[in-house]
Amino acid sequence: MTPEDALAALAWQVELGADEALGEGPVDRFSAPASVPTTKVESPVASVKPAPAPEGAASEALAAGCANLEALRATMAAFDGCALKKGARSLVFADGVPGARVMIVGEAPGREEDQQGLPFVGASGQLLDKMFAAIGLSRKADDATHALYITNTIPWRPPQNRDPSSDEIAMMMPFLERHIALAAPEILVTMGNSATKTLLATTTGITRMRGNWSERNGIPLLPMFHPAALLRDPLKKREAWADLKAIRARLG
Ligand code: URA
């Protein structure tokens, strides 16, 4: 971490209200570390699956045939089964370091992401970078230990930034599944309602889901508030900081 990064991380923590060297409760440093309870979600896709559209079946077969991330990117770029592609300028596949210990899954690209072809580069993305820098992680790190890998549930910008429909999500789900399998992170972090509901097949909202570890196909998963929600409601940053600390603790 550079001195500038360290100062940015400190400023972020002060902004969150972490301006005292005290935790919320006493810490018994002599007791054995408690194991973190997790909820198992083995096959979320099964319940997310819609009545299988022919294109959905096609995306499943295409995704399954991709042996590496480059093949997956090329296959998604050539995929014409999702109408969102027609209105978008770029395929927003991923950013960061493949092989990173932490993989972030957001919802869908916005205007800046569509322009640059990279996820989380607008205002939300800048906040996301600050948040993870505060726990020593960056999409620009040159080693997997300090790196992030970032993608979205949907790779094309929906018109007027509307929410992706459940059909669109279901159609692209096999690609996301394969993306996660090929990136093979140690920890998944879902940002906001849409990604959390998609990967955990839950209808429970993010306010109740955030901060609770689940497991998705054997990978620990932590839902967090979307950075856009933190920009709208800075009071949520305190919970976001708790979640970031939980990620840091889980990484050991
Ligand atoms: N919001 C997201 O969920 N993803 C992005 O890439 C940008 C904003």
| Per-residue pLDDT tens digits for 66-125 | 999 999 999 999 999 999 999 999 999 999 999 999 999 999 999 999 999 999 999 999
Alpha-carbon gap, residue 189 to 151, rounded angstroms? 10
Atom of ligand 1 nearest to the CA of 106: 3
Q: How many CA atoms lie within 13 A of 99 on its CB side?
A: 8
Q: How many CA atoms lie within 13 A of 203 on its CB side?
A: 2
Alpha-carbon gap, residue 109 to 93, rounded angstroms? 10
What pLDDT shows up at residue 51?
46
CA of 107 to the centre of ligand 1 (A): 5
What pLDDT shows up at residue 57?
77
Q: Whole-model pTM?
A: 0.82
Task: Identify the residues whose C-beta falls under 6 Å from ligand 1.
Answer: 106-110, 113, 119-120, 122, 124-125, 152, 191
Atom of ligand 1 nearest to the CA of 119: 6
What pLDDT shows up at residue 91?
98
183: pLDDT strictly greater than 50: yes
Angle ∠(196,68,90) on CA atoms, nearest 5 = 65
Alpha-carbon gap, residue 106 to 194, rounded angstroms? 8
Split at pLDDT 50, 70, 90, the class of 34 is low
